[in-house]
Amino acid sequence: MAFTLQDLSDITGGVLVQGDESRQIGRISTDTRRIKAGEVFVGLNGKNFKGRDFIQEALRYNIGGIVVDGLPETVTLPPDVFCIITDDTTQSFGRIARAWRDFIKPRVVGVTGSAGKTTTKEMISAICRNNFQTLATEGNLNNLIGLPITLLNLKAGDQVAVIEFGMSTPGELAELTRICNPDISVITNVGNAHIGNFGSLDGLIAGEAEIFEEMAEDSLAIVNLDCANVSLMRASHRFPKRVLTYGTLETAEVRATKIRPMQPVGYEFEITYQGASEQIAVPIYGRYSVLNALAAAAVALSLGLDLRTIATGLSKFTPPKMRSETEYFDGILIVADCYNASPDAMAKSVRSFADLTGVKRRVAVLGDMLELGTMMEELHHEVGAAIKTVPLDLLVTVGITSRLISDVASRGSYPCVHFESRAEAAEFLHRELKSNDGLLVKGSRGAKLEEVLQALKQMRSEQQTGKLVSGATDVREFCT
């Protein structure tokens, strides 16, 4: 890294207790399992551990130095290993990442929202990578540890950084914004994800608004005009001077019209911006994907790309694993949308199931939704009410509180069945599903509905080869 020890001491606000101030530092690492010779170990603290307890382990790899909140008496540093003592290593880690971001100077795009942020981030990246040297958040590295890790992966020549911001508690998004300092930020929507941690919808709106309140005055906010809660946010919270809107409403600046389903999944629509228009095809599940694509298009337009270039990038997009991911297996069209789930996103996903073409029956499997606090039961009931008129052929709920969804939805026009056991649900689906059926699987990450899919595929594969599975115990290796 292009920093000296004096720079690092100033950046972190720490005290250099060993080392030459003019010495250049190596790359930053927080993980002794992956650290390499010459790198700097930043000892982060967790709920059940202290980073300083891993200094001895880090020294085994000939590291260049350490940034910690204290040096144990049992540790003797070699003379060529520098040491900076700081009050808060997590804050120091974020400050180092911010300094590196400012040194490389890419155009930074921040993406947050209750739902769709990962898909939107990946869509933006898919467009940008064809036109700019681009870095993007990998996996779920979107919190106060993961986001700095992403920024520290910036390298000389990177022109665009597409950074996902996760948020589960008040104040978190403000700190992430201060670390990242985005030039452009997108809020995909404000629903009710993690609402249990914020106490109310107003609290959740305030939490999401932190990204705009902490952005520089001359930065750009990109907002979903179709989301009523974003409009409420604009009325009550500070926004940057520049705002670009997207959506399906007539007043949206980046607008989608003539939306129609593709076969078997995906949507075609016409995108318009400042009098220009282009046909767009987004080959992934979910009508909400149109809004995600519009958000990505708005970012790309603000970076100077044209609609034709944007259409080309989106046409080749593939969704992240378990996020609106589709596949055919044994004649069944499976939509795996089980990486996460909020009440709004779950209802929208089931409604989009009605657009699925080329299937005989539509079978939806829904799991528990988590982090809803005291509103847990109410919001599960609301999902049941929202989907009871959707033209499904069968609803299967799996878990504990998901029973409340089927209790309400069963008053509609299709049969519902509930299982507390993922193994039993998989066995039922194995018996029930037929060729040319469509299967939607949606639930919070903690519901582990991917295990239902794994067990179902295993049973159907063994049936094809003549190795019939009998009894729930045969599938429990997939369903923990």
SS3 408: helix
Confidence of residue 323 (pLDDT cuts 50, 70, 90): confident
pLDDT the model gives residue 2: 87
Asked if residue 409 and residue 359 are part of one domain, the reply reads yes
Asked if residue 265 and residue 205 are part of one domain, the reply reads yes
pLDDT of 469 over the 60 cut: no
Query: What is the secondary structure of 339-401 as a DSSP string?
Result: S---HHHHHHHHHHHTT--S-S-EEEEEE---S-GGGHHHHHHHHHHHHTTS--SEEEEESST
pLDDT the model gives residue 339: 83
Neighbours of 436 (CB within 10 A): 12
Higher-confidence residue of 333 and 322: namely 333
Distance, in Å, from the CA atom of 27 to the CA atom of 42, rounded to the nearest integer, reads 11
Q: How many Cα atoms within 13 Å fall on the side-chain side of residue 194?
A: 19
pLDDT the model gives residue 413: 87
Q: Which of 94, 70, 104, 83 has its CA nearest to residue 12?
A: 94
Neighbours of 464 (CB within 10 A): 9
| Domain end point (choices 89, 116, 140) | 89
Q: In angstroms, how far is CA 261 from the centroid of its own chain?
A: 25
pLDDT the model gives residue 231: 86
**Residue 401 domain-assigned?**
yes
Distance, in Å, from the CA atom of 156 to the CA atom of 154, rounded to the nearest integer, reads 7
Q: What is the pLDDT of residues 387-401, one digit of tens each?
A: 999 999 999 999 999
Question: How much is the mean pLDDT over the chain?
Answer: 92
Asked if residue 464 and residue 421 are part of one domain, the reply reads yes
Which residues share a beta bridge with 277? 272
pLDDT of 471 over the 50 cut: no
Q: In angstroms, how far is CA 218 from the centroid of its own chain?
A: 26
Domain membership of residue 22 as a residue range: 5-89
Asked if residue 329 and residue 311 are part of one domain, the reply reads no
> Per-residue b/e over 160-196, b at no fewer than 16 CB within 10 Å?
bbbbbbbbeeeebbbbbbebbbbbbbbbbbbbbbbbb
Asked if residue 360 and residue 440 are part of one domain, the reply reads yes
Instruction: Report the CATH number at residue 9.
Output: 3.40.1390.10
CB 149 within 8 A of CB 180: no
Backbone φ, ψ for residue 250 (5° rounding): -60, -30
**Residue 39 domain-assigned?**
yes
Asked if residue 422 and residue 336 are part of one domain, the reply reads yes
Asked if residue 150 and residue 47 are part of one domain, the reply reads no
Q: How many Cα atoms within 13 Å fall on the side-chain side of residue 162?
A: 26
Cα–Cα distances (Å) from 415 to 349, 394, 429, 457, in that order, read 19, 5, 14, 23
> Per-residue b/e over 123-136, b at no fewer than 16 CB within 10 Å?
bbbbbbeebbebbb
Q: What is the pLDDT of residues 196-220, one digit of tens each?
A: 778 788 888 999 999 999 999 999 9
> Per-residue b/e over 20-48, b at no fewer than 16 CB within 10 Å?
eeebebeebbbebeebeeebbbbbbeeee
**Residue 143 domain-assigned?**
yes
| Domain end point (choices 89, 115, 136) | 89
Asked if residue 63 and residue 113 are part of one domain, the reply reads no
pLDDT the model gives residue 470: 44
Top mean-pLDDT range of 199-208, 266-275, 330-339:
266-275
Neighbours of 114 (CB within 10 A): 23
Q: What is the pLDDT of residues 175-198, one digit of tens each?
A: 999 999 999 999 999 987 667 778
Q: Which of 197, 132, 226, 464 has its CA nearest to residue 331?
A: 464
pLDDT of 463 over the 80 cut: yes
Asked if residue 268 and residue 146 are part of one domain, the reply reads yes
Distance, in Å, from the CA atom of 146 to the CA atom of 356, rounded to the nearest integer, reads 36
Distance, in Å, from the CA atom of 115 to the CA atom of 191, rounded to the nearest integer, reads 7
Asked if residue 133 and residue 272 are part of one domain, the reply reads yes
Q: Which of 245, 253, 255 has its CA nearest to residue 225?
A: 245
**Tokens at residue 206, please?**
């305030």
Query: What is the secondary structure of 82-149 as a DSSP string?
Result: EEEE-S-HHHHHHHHHHHHHHHH-PEEEEEE-SSSHHHHHHHHHHHHTTTS-EEE--TT--STTHHHH
**Residue 320 domain-assigned?**
no
Q: Which residues contact 422 (CB under 8 A, 6 or more apart)?
A: 398, 448, 449, 451, 452, 455, 479
| Domain end point (choices 285, 315, 345) | 315
Q: How many residues does the chain have?
A: 480
Q: What is the pLDDT of residues 23-33, one digit of tens each?
A: 999 999 999 99
pLDDT the model gives residue 436: 95
Q: What is the pLDDT of residues 33-74, one digit of tens each?
A: 999 999 999 999 988 899 999 999 999 999 999 999 999 999
Helix axes 201-214, 172-180, angle to 10 degrees: 20
Q: Which residues contact 294 (CB under 8 A, 6 or more apart)?
A: 224, 246, 247, 252, 254, 255, 256, 271
Q: How many Cα atoms within 13 Å fall on the side-chain side of residue 446?
A: 10
Distance, in Å, from the CA atom of 353 to the CA atom of 286, rounded to the nearest integer, reads 7
**Residue 187 domain-assigned?**
yes
Distance, in Å, from the CA atom of 26 to the CA atom of 4, rounded to the nearest integer, reads 9
Asked if residue 375 and residue 283 are part of one domain, the reply reads no
**Residue 276 domain-assigned?**
yes
Q: How many Cα atoms within 13 Å fall on the side-chain side of residue 282?
A: 34
pLDDT of 408 over the 70 cut: yes
CB 460 within 8 A of CB 329: yes
Helix axes 288-302, 307-315, angle to 10 degrees: 140
Instruction: Report the CATH number at residue 270.
Output: 3.40.1190.10
77-91, 136-150, 262-276, 338-352: segment of lowest average pLDDT:
338-352
Q: Which of 181, 119, 177, 188 has its CA nearest to residue 143?
A: 177
Asked if residue 297 and residue 182 are part of one domain, the reply reads yes
**For range 128-139, the mean pLDDT:** 95
pLDDT the model gives residue 138: 94
Instruction: Report the CATH number at residue 351.
Output: 3.90.190.20
**Residue 402 domain-assigned?**
yes
Domains of the chain: total: 3
**Residue 98 domain-assigned?**
no
Neighbours of 339 (CB within 10 A): 21
Higher-confidence residue of 321 and 295: namely 295
Q: What is the pLDDT of residues 212-256, one digit of tens each?
A: 999 999 999 999 999 999 889 988 899 999 999 999 999 999 999
Amino acid at 168: S
